[in-house]
Structure 1
Amino acid sequence: MANPSNTKDAWRMWSGVVAWAGFPALHGLWMLADWSLRDPALPMSGGIPNSVTSAFQGASLIGFAILIFASLGRVRLLPLRLLITLVAVSIGAGGMILGWLSYVIHNGIDTL
């Protein structure tokens, strides 16, 4: 990565890093918290309620989109910036869906 020349460039760079690194880490911590609230012998019981988890997932995707959009501050064409953000959020949402499906299937949680 290039050395940021001013605070705006540094903020843009870190918002991208936080989005791409923080998004999976945050979901991993959420899964860990959900699993710690469940009885491993009966994984269907306990855990964080599905409605709360769904709200968390939606809010994290919105936060991810905002951080990605902010990290693209050097892209001056708004339609291009929105397109890149849409592609990034699609990749993030796909990864999130696959991660959560893997978590649910591998731990025997039948919430689908």
Structure 2
Amino acid sequence: MVFCVLVLSSTEAAVGEAAGGDVGRPTTHLHFYFHENFSGGPDGTAVQVSAARGGLNNGSFFGVVNVVDDMLREGADPASRLLQRGFSTNVPTYARLQTAGMKGYGRL
């Protein structure tokens, strides 16, 4: 079982490139194709388990918790070969729309 926390940071990547990175070492490019279905129907892969206080009229997503069961596929086509399933819990970490953040805790 592999646990991971996904944190997206362009600053970290920019600092690594500016410092020279791993010059002379081969680079591996990984492409991930997670497919989500927010339909809410029987084939849905994302479910909201906690809503924001005040519903959609409160101006933020604070308090929202989503549980996701994504499909990791070989390609961008939804019919491509299924490689793995990715389970996660997504929790917005902001109270105002001006400061956006999202934490995803999951396992592959």
The TM-score bracket by the shorter chain reads: under 0.3
Structure ranking higher in helix proportion: 1
TM-score by length of 1: 0.21
TM-score by length of 2: 0.22
